[in-house]
Structure 1
Amino acid sequence: MRQLPASTTRRRVVGSLTAALLCAAGLATPATPATPAAARETTGPAAPSPVAVDPGVRPPDGLALTPPMGFNNWNSTHCRAEFDEAMVKGIADLFVEKGLKEAGYQYVNLDDCWALPKRDANGRLVPDPARFPDGIKAVADYVHSKGLKLGIYTSAGTKTCNSAGFPGALGHERSDARQFADWGVDYLKYDNCNNQGVDAKQRYIAMRDALKAAAGSTGRPIVYSICEWGENKPWEWAADVGHLWRTTGDISDDWGSMLSIMKQNLPLAQHAGPGRWNDPDMLEVGNGGMTDTEYRTHFSMWSIMAAPLLIGSDLRKATAATFEILGNEEVIAVDQDPLGKQGEVVSSEGGRWVVAKEMKDGSRAVALFNETGSPQSVATTAKAVGLPGADAYTLRDLWQHKSYDTAGRIAATVPAHGTVLLRVAADGQWSHHPPAAELGLKGGLLVEAGKTAKVTSEVTDLGRSTAQRVSVSLGAPAGWAVRATSPSTASSLRTGRTLATSWSVTAPADARPGPYEMSLKATYRSPKGARVEQALPLTSRVVVAPPAGSSSLSGLPWLSTTNGWGPVERDTSNGEQQPGDGKPITIGGKVYAKGLGVHAESAVEYYTGAACEKVTALVGVDDEKGTKGTVAFEIWADGEKAASTGALTNAMPARELTADVTGARVVRLVATDGGDGVDSDHGDWAEARLSC
């Protein structure tokens, strides 16, 4: 839960990690308390010994056959006073009132801070009377009365992760599990702080066995969520222990965090299935740190990854857009498909991702995801996603809630940070639908004030049937001049044919640098006469050309940034999560005055206006994380990789990286995890310069 990403010092668990390292080296063993095991159930353990476990015991059958769906308060409230009985009951009420229960959400889960800091005289957990004056059982009864289920939280350590130090369950597994079952708890999130160096498998198996015993005596099985942050690769051993396991550190409500976690979870598809789910952490949808486009991507990608869908925003304050995203039953159906497959990556070149998921009915869910900061055409085929050969296919857009036919090509121009989520089937019903069409724009909408940009729109018929009476238009802000310089209509488009229209777009001379909303629209008719309207939302940007000569990139305005932890920093290292908290850029003991401090996965885009020739930098892993970190650096020019380093470690000195970017309009600096996962991957673009 509160485990900080690998880039951050884990102050609350450093003792546990130290103990584990000493044990591994044969220099120490976990301390064994003098009291017998029976007494440890009623007294607070200082440093419990490993618990005997039975590896052959499995979780109760029939639980979590699809990924759990529900709510957890932590991302929106943390430990603030607003987390209380009234909030929990209010969330249960909203599940019913807003249709979320009907859509499949059922768990209302309490996170840390629900208990008092000390157990009672009998060693039992005590609900905080200020937050839960009627106790946990009364809250569970209320939630159950709504046809929903209640979840609770504790840690596989002596204390939970909160700095206040609430009681953990290490050494109290049996009594705590029985207490949860007696209260009517249906779901347990079991965290990883203050674990005293006890082996992870032993800690988590001990609670599994305790939950099984409690279920046997009370008749209440509990879904078991293992939250050890992926440190011990639980996907390799936890299928017989819990129903879901965290694969990553904690998510934050920002694009970089969500993207990094998604990339860590995607390769683990083979380990997921009914009753055993990879958990890339809770949803941030609606918390305000991302755009609605980014939140739709978040929800789409979690669904195609068959991830648990646990709402992390306060639904009492949620917007209509948030409810629309969380309540999309067609997207939820992808997540909840009973076959239980996690989507797998088909391609990911240049930040253009195709992820496909096999569905029980034989169809494929297909996510076309664009991680870059500008619209991109993302494409695949029915064959590539595993569908059988057919004359044509039905293609269903799960956000538009519209169906089309396709001859086999699956493609869309996807907005920056957006995802088009489709369901494609060889169902023989394609002729009932109009042809699919891809709208796209070549040339990009980067315009200097007072100047004219030339762009080309494209409408391409992807269908087996013919698009008729095709028309396209490009809308711009008031005061902008937009003019078609070639035909914008076509009487018909057969399969694979394109209507390409040239446009001149002129921004006013007094337009301020920044983003402006535009839209590309197309209309056409199917062979049966049905009228189809499609729109591609676009963001144009008024930009400033870089100056002639050599300029430090840290002093130039960027188009967009993505960063795996905190913001991209100018002339300092990445630091931590807050802007301006970096240190002097230092690689191999040498300090550099200028540059960019980033954290994998990271991308920084610049407008170069086809007027520049070269990017140079000294790159490496910053010294601020000691011996940790592995980062690979890349320079891209107009979507093509121009230079790269391969993986660099903290032990290596700064390496010179130079790229020829002649003629490029956009240059992108990328830092990846080096292929070994994200762990303290603080990278530096020291002395990064652009020559124009």
Structure 2
Amino acid sequence: MKKKVLLIVLSLSMIGMIDHAAMSWETAVILTPAPGPAPRINGTRLFGVRPGSPFLFRIPATGERPMSFAVENLPAGLTVDPLTGIITGAILERGSYSVMLRASNSKGTAARELRIVCGDTLAVTPHMGWNSWYVWENHVTDEIMRAAADAMISSGMADHGYTYVNIDDCWPVKPGSTDPTLRGEPRDKSGKVNSNPRFPDMKALTDHIHAYGLKAGIYTSPGPTTCADHTGAWKHEAADVERFVEWGFDFLKYDWCSYSQIAKDKSREECQKPYRVISEILRRQPRDIVLNLCQYGMGDVWEWGKEVGGNSWRTAGDLGGSFEKIGLALFRDGFDLYAEKELHRFGGPGGWNDPDYLLLGYLSNWKGQTVPTPLTPNEQYSHVSLWCLLAAPLIFSGDITRLDDFTLNLLTNDEVIEVDQDPLGLPGRRLAKEGDLEVWARPMEDGSLAVGLFNRGEGLKVIEAKWEDLGVRGPQKVRDLWRQRDVGVAEGKFEACVARHGVVFVRLWPSD
């Protein structure tokens, strides 16, 4: 049986692949099966909200439209729109509520449990969404953000659980700029931050996003200016958060940037200070705002990010800071950093390690052009697979209005996403390494194990995932997650032939 499993995976792994020993090209093979016509409910199984805060959740479901929605056992204060599947309202009583989501069309009905936890913890599973930075950088506008929200719906990404539509840098006024679209009064008379003319009505923008059942994110810095020299929050933190609440934002990326001019030194206390300040202000608001700490891993932020109120924290520098070196950064700041620092010990519900965004599709090359990602197809599969094993936020930062079938296949595989969104919330870790060959695994809530076999070397290599390394016993059912196919039953180990810089991503269950 072990030999049969190897042969099946070998034949699948080689489809359309070219040997990269000579650093040649490879075919972008679509592995994710297209969704069927019958309803299927996807995305998270766990949702956190604070008592009294506005509740917004869009039931993510694939299948033919028209589709109708219903929810059984909704807690008091919530209602669902049967045509859109958008749940709104507010829960006043703390507690854990199990509701049954239903989606129906002419092909049938799907049902799935969702557990709503009303308490103090947000981001009980990793965030999923889109961010503007790596494609639009300093060219972002209101029109671009509206188009991104439209595309999240029209592309089907929202039907797989993607929720946040996040503006990065360059929305505030830029002091001293000669560009009329960036000029203006940085603040109003009360001291609250203003947006620049590229964003004429922030409340109307978030209303547009919220109308889809999606959530809106914004960006600022604790320093005097942002990384692109726009107005920062220094000495106006409370006023700016009040402004974000007025505008209706649900997510805040808080980027260190010019705060290096304010911090006395690089001590852990100084690293923590601005984030303690902002998280305390956020806690006092009548609206839930998820907080992302962006300070590039300084002071071993994974050890204290959750303590200071972070819901996620960047663990390294910008993955796409150098366009040409994204692949190098993927292996260095993803694989190596997480294994060497044992970051799996620190992520979990309410606070997640963040290795940066999914750099797929069309990106800025920092030379005024938008071009395809430099990652090879195999590297892209490895990128998404590792992020899911790490329980990392899945924030896509390519051009969401220009999605090709291959990129959509990477972003919308529901069995792969289920690993990232698993309610148990235990991040995976590296369990075996032999040269350039690595085995990573993540325990799942149902007792199964998600396993990634990664080849960081050249050519096709056979990788073994041994039961003694994985901590499992007896025969195991093996399912290929990218292809959504059962592979067979393996005993003692699972073997796969993996292409250069590629992955075979499987899930194991005891077979008896």
Equivalent in the alignment of 2:59 = none
Post-superposition offset of 1:357: 0.3
Of residues 268, 271, 275, the one that matches 1:204 is: 275
Q: Is the 8 A contact 2:489 2:511 kept in 1?
A: no
CA–CA distance in structure 1, aligned partners of residues 193 and 377 of structure 2: 40
SS of 1:348's equivalent in the other structure is: strand
Q: 2:222·2:256 contact (CA, 8 Å) conserved in 1?
A: yes
Percent of aligned positions with the same letter in both sequences? Answer: 37
The aligned counterpart of 1:151 is 217
How far 1:98 moved relative to its partner?
Answer: 2.0
**Larger deviation, residues 191-200 vs 394-403:** 191-200
CA distance in 1, matches of 2:195, 2:381: 36
Shift of 1:418: 0.2
What RMSD, in angstroms, separates the aligned Cα atoms of the two structures?
1.5
Distance 1:119 1:175 in 2: 10
* Map of 1:368 onto structure 2: 453
1: distance between equivalents of 2:146 and 2:232? 25
The alignment partner of 2:435 has SS state of helix
Helix, strand or coil at the partner of 1:395: strand
Match of 2:438 in 1: 353
Deviation of the 1:94 alpha carbon? 1.7
Which residue of the other structure, out of 233, 236, 244, is the alignment partner of 1:180? 244
Give the counterpart of 2:123 among 64, 73, 80.
64
Determine if contact 1:265/1:278 at 8 Å carries over to the other structure: no
Identify, as 1 or 2, the structure richer in strand. 1
Whether contact under 8 Å (1:192, 1:228) holds in the other structure is: yes
Paired with 2:454 and 2:354, the residues of 1 have a C-alpha distance of 20
Give the secondary-structure state (helix, strand or coil) at the position aligned to 2:252.
strand
Which residue of 338, 344, 348 corresponds with 1:265?
338
How far off is 1:60 after superposition?
7.1
Q: Which residue of 2 aligns with 1:318?
A: 403
The whole-number CA distance in structure 1 between the counterparts of 2:450 and 2:158 is 23
Of 136, 139, 155, the match for 2:202: 136
User: What is residue 349 of structure 2 aligned with on the other side?
Assistant: 274
Does the 8 A contact of 1:285 with 1:299 survive in 2?
A: no
Does residue 399 of the first structure (1) align with residue 482 of the second (2)? yes
**Larger helix proportion of the pair:** 2
1:401: how far off?
1.3
Alignment of 1:4-403 (within 5 A): 61-80=120-139, 83-117=140-174, 118-129=186-197, 131-133=198-200, 135-162=201-228, 165-195=229-259, 196-197=262-263, 199-213=270-284, 215=285, 219-240=286-307, 241-252=309-320, 253=323, 254-262=326-334, 263-266=336-339, 267-287=342-362, 288-387=373-472, 389-390=473-474, 392-403=475-486
Residue deviations 1:130-183, cap 9 Å, x none? Answer: x222x1111111100000000000012111001xx2111122111111111111
SS of the aligned residue for 1:189 comes to strand
State the shift of 1:273 in Å: 0.6
Structure 2 unaligned segments of length 5 or more: list them.
1-117, 175-185, 265-269, 363-372
User: Does the aligned pair in 1 maintain the 2:439–2:465 contact within 8 Å?
Assistant: yes
**Does the 8 Å contact 1:234/1:247 carry over to 2?**
yes
Question: Cα deviations across residues 433-463 of structure 1 (Å, max 9, x unaligned)?
Answer: xxxxxxxxxxxxxxxxxxxxxxxxxxxxxxx
2:368 maps to what in 1?
none
**2-structure distance, mates of 1:264, 1:60:** 33
**Looking at both structures, which has the greater relative contact order when contacts are Cα pairs under 8 Å and sequence separation is at least 6?**
2
Name the residue aligned to 1:650. none
Q: CA deviation at 1:373?
A: 2.1
CA distance in 1, matches of 2:421, 2:275: 26
Taking structure 2 as the reference length, the TM-score comes to 0.68
Deviation of 1:239 (Å): 1.3
- Name 1:516's counterpart in structure 2: none
In the TM superposition, structure 1's runs of 4+ consecutive aligned residues that sit over 4 Å from their partners are: none
| Structure number with bigger Rg | 1
What SS does the aligned partner of 1:153 have?
strand
Once residues 386 and 176 of structure 1 are traced to their aligned partners in structure 2, the CA distance between those partners, rounded to angstroms, is 49
Alpha-carbon distance change, 87 to 60 in structure 1, aligned in 2, over 3 angstroms: farther
Structure 1 CA distance for aligned equivalents of residues 417 and 408 of structure 2: 13
Counterpart secondary structure, 2:469: coil
Deviation at 1:207, TM superposition (A): 0.2
Q: Deviations over 1:221-242 (max 9, x none)?
A: 1000001111111111121221
CA distance in 1, matches of 2:167, 2:134: 11
Kept after mapping to 2: 8 A contact 1:306/1:340: yes
Residue 625 of structure 1 is matched in structure 2 by none
Q: 2:250·2:289 contact (CA, 8 Å) conserved in 1?
A: yes
Query: Deviation of residue 122 (structure 1)?
Result: 3.1
